[in-house]
Amino acid sequence: MKILVCVKRVIDYNVRVQINRQGDGVITDGVKMSVNPFDEIAVEEALQIRDRGDADEIVAVSIGTSASQQQLRTALAMGADRAILVESDDEIQPLAAARVFHKLVEKEQPGLVFLGKQAIDDDSNQTGQMLAALWQRPQATSASSFELNGETARVTREVDAGLEIIDIDLPAVVTVDLRLNEPRFVKMPDIMKAKRKPLETIALSELGIDAPPALETKNYEPPPQRQAGIMVETVDELIAALRDRGVL
């Protein structure tokens, strides 16, 4: 079985994101970029399935500018076998991304597609579900445990009420949550080895995809700031302050 893993280049989660002067985007120049943390977990899960002997090839795929090669190299260094970059300089929204991944799925015929449940830039949490819809296959979102049983998989999903367990037939789309696994650390020799692994680049325009309707985004602003509060010295002072505010 082949597994496709989708990897997105995003601003590193430790960076304090700044809005640009025009208010029409965020500053990315000179900012540390990384693999979306959820996607690292997706890569790790695919690798663990291969390491158990249940998959024979892991293909990491990304959509973005040529800079996204970096993130694909990270996936290759973690252990993916090859990578595909669908290159585009345009902003790619979830529905467009899902159409691209659907095209790749038709070509590659994977048994499983793993994605992060959301990307920490736009926080949309849509692409996996949209891909599953276009592919007309099962989706298991927010997975915190994954167990393969031949042609089906049992997935535990983190939901608001607790843990939901579902069975899905393969092929299927799985979006992963943070507690699914701990991604491995990449070692220096792996980075060297990754440089020799195949990374294919396809121009988005070559895929012949209908551009879907897209959202227009404007007015980037900081969130409303909370008033700085006061420090109290004792528990009695705290209780008095809360009573004063009428919240106790």
Ligand X SMILES: Cc1cc2nc3c(=O)[nH]c(=O)nc-3n(C[C@H](O)[C@H](O)[C@H](O)COP(=O)(O)OP(=O)(O)OC[C@H]3O[C@@H](n4cnc5c(N)ncnc54)[C@H](O)[C@@H]3O)c2cc1C
Applying the rule CB under 6 A, the residues between 111 and 170 that interact with ligand X are 120
Contact string 25-64 vs ligand X (x = CB under 6 A): ------------x---------------------------
14: number of Cβ within 10 Å: 7
| Residues in 123-142 that interact with another protein by CB under 8 A | 123-134, 136-142
Assess 11 for contact with another protein (CB under 8 A). Answer: yes
Alpha-carbon distance 146 to 197, whole Å?
28
* Residue 57 vs 121, nearer CB to ligand X: 121
Its sign, for the CA torsion 17, 9, 145, 99, is positive
Cα angle, residue 214 at apex, residues 25 and 123 outer, rounded to 5°: 55
Query: Which of another protein, ligand X, none has residue 190 at its interface (CB below 5 to 8 Å by kind)?
Result: none
Assess 144 for contact with another protein (CB under 8 A). Answer: yes
Quick one: tokens of 26? Answer: 């965020």
Assess 19 for contact with another protein (CB under 8 A). Answer: yes
Burial of 182 (0-12, 13-18, 19+ CB in 10 A): exposed
Shortest approach of ligand X to residue 118 CB, angstroms?
Answer: 8
Residue 215: C-alpha distances to residues 8, 43, 229, 237 (Å): 19, 29, 38, 49
Instruction: Please select the residue that binds another protein; options are 51, 169, 200, 206, rule is CB under 8 A.
Output: 169
Assess 177 for contact with another protein (CB under 8 A). Answer: yes
Which residues are near ligand X by CB under 6 A? Answer: 13, 37, 120
